[in-house]
Amino acid sequence: MALDHSNPELHTRFRLGGTLSSAVFITVHLVCFAAIWTGVYWRDIAICVGLYWLRMFAITAGYHRYFSHRTYKMGRVMQFIMAFLAQSSAQKGVLWWAANHRHHHRHSDQPEDCHSPVQRGFWWSHVGWIMSSDHTETRADDIKDFSQYPELVWLNKYHVLPVVVLAAIVYLAAGWSGLVVGFFWSTVITWHGTFTINSLTHVFGKRRYETTDDSRNNWLLALITMGEGWHNNHHHYQASCRQGFFWWEIDATYYILKGLEKLRLVRDLREPPRHLVEGKAHPRRAAVLAAKANRQTSARPTAARVDDSEPQLAPLAPLANLKVD
Ligand SMILES: [Zn+2]
Ligand SMILES: [Zn+2]
């Protein structure tokens, strides 16, 4: 649903929604200081580290590579579990997240991009756009495919539920210090780890491919985010499940998904085509260009250069391919 600024009643509701989520966002940061009173124990640190990696995996494998880009397949139960786990990271609902991300790719680093650091700077792209009242609603038009599953629509509507469930489990298992350190610390660290992809990977790092945006590859951010730092690779070819295109580009999410594929929990992981990894045109197109260049050799010898404008596969497979078990 697009934000209707012309309707004052609706606009007030959205603004209130933005204010409320901003208050919760700030409060969660402040709660972390309660560790001064609860104390910090090694068990709590272990829970914090474990929940960080578990939820980061659910964000990158679930929210990003599955729900936003459909780069592999899984069954309907597994799909729900992945969405539930990702929502326990308190980054709003699965449909909200994926729809906004698709919007980012469509308008990447253009004025319409909701979190472009190139357009609006670091703070806006890192946390400002989340705290603003302009992006509180799910962009329904951008996520029609997954909206056909009522259980996902329900989960998206009650997006706080998985957060509360996880917090309750941690409290019952480890008490107040476990809740503050294990749950709240890891939630805040997972937030900022995820947000670095919006705020830093369009500014710092190397550009291997000439994309239409400012996306970059950054090895440090790839380590922190389990492979999401290979962001220029990803913008170059969004349909690939694998984001580290070479063996030295560590992509922990992809390795875990390969393991889950062996266990038959996921399937059909998509790889980047070789010619795209090499930054070349598709072989068929390259052959056509070469033949054309040969015909023009005497007149214009430089025309033999192969350009890199081969259109990549659409990020979304046809709806028919979405069928889950
Ligand atoms: Zn993406
Ligand atoms: Zn991006």
The tens digit of pLDDT for each residue in 174-202 reads 999 999 999 999 999 999 999 999 999 99
319 Cβ partners below 8 Å, 6+ apart? 145
Q: DSSP letters along 10-68, please?
A: HHHHHHHHHHHHHHHHHHHHHHGGGHHHH---HHHHHHHHHHHHHHHHIIIIIIIIIII
Nearest to 197 by CA among 223, 213, 221: 221
Closest ligand to C-alpha of residue 102 is 1
Distance 231 CA to ligand 2 centre (A): 6
Task: Return the amino acid letter for 28.
Answer: V
Interval between CA 51 and ligand 1 midpoint (Å): 23
Q: Which helix (H) or strand (E) holds 267?
A: strand 266-267
Spell out the residues 6+ positions from residue 91 whose beta carbon is closer than 8 angstroms to its own: 59, 63, 97, 191, 194
**227 CA from centroid of ligand 1 (Å):** 12
- The Å distance, Cα 215 to ligand 2 centre, comes to 6
Domain ranges of the chain: 8-277
Of all ligands present, the nearest one to the C-alpha of 196 is 2
Q: How far is the CA of 18 from the centre of ligand 1 (A)?
A: 24
Question: Once rounded to an integer, what is the mean pLDDT over residues 145-149?
Answer: 97
User: Which pLDDT belongs to residue 270?
Assistant: 97
* pLDDT surpassing 90 at residue 281: no
Per-residue model confidence (pLDDT) at position 114? 86
pLDDT reading at 236 higher than 60: yes
Task: Point out the ligand nearest to the CA of residue 70.
Answer: 1
Confidence at 291, pLDDT banded by 50, 70, 90: confident
Average pLDDT over residues 237-242: 96
* 235 CA → ligand 1 middle, Å: 7
Ligand at minimal distance from the CA of 197 is 2
Q: Could you say which ligand is closest to the alpha carbon of residue 240?
A: 1
Q: Which ligand is nearest to the CA of 316?
A: 1
Among all bound ligands, the one having the nearest atom to the CA of 118 is: 2
Question: Ligand 1 centre and the CA of 296: distance in Å?
Answer: 40
Torsion-angle region of residue 228: left (phi > 0), alpha (psi -120 to 50) or beta? alpha
Q: Looking at the CA of 68, name the nearest ligand.
A: 1
Backbone angles phi, psi at 230, to 5 degrees: -85, 60
Share of the chain above pLDDT 70, in %: 81
For ligand 1, the distance from its centroid to the CA atom of residue 308, given in whole angstroms, is 21
Q: Which two three-digit tokens encode residue 9?
A: 């009643």
- Of the bound ligands, which one is closest to the alpha carbon of residue 202? 2
Going from the Cα of 113 to the center of ligand 2, the distance in angstroms, rounded, reads: 10
- Could you report the per-residue pLDDT of 58-112, keeping only the tens digit for each? 999 999 999 999 999 999 999 999 999 999 999 999 999 999 999 999 998 888 8
* Distance set, CA 287 to CA 89, 209, 292, 293 (Å): 48, 21, 9, 10
Question: 30 or 2: which carries more pLDDT confidence?
Answer: 30
Mean pLDDT of the chain: 86
Distance (angstroms) between ligand 1 centre and the Cα of 31 equals: 31
Ligand 1 geometric centre to CA of 126 (Å) = 16
Band the pLDDT of 10: cuts 50, 70, 90.
very low
For the ranges 162-176, 188-202, 268-282, the lowest mean pLDDT is seen at 268-282
Task: Name the one residue in this structure whose structure tokens are 């990158």.
Answer: 60
Residue 298: per-residue pLDDT:
52
What pLDDT is stored for residue 149 in this prediction?
Answer: 97
> What's the CA gap between 304 and 302, in Å, rounded?
5
Query: How far is Cα 195 from Cα 123, in angstroms, rounded to an integer?
Result: 10
Distance CA(93)–CA(98), nearest Å, equals 9
Residue 290 has pLDDT above 60, yes or no: yes
| Ligand 1 geometric centre to CA of 105 (Å) | 7
Are 257 and 241 in contact by the 8 Å Cβ rule? The answer is yes
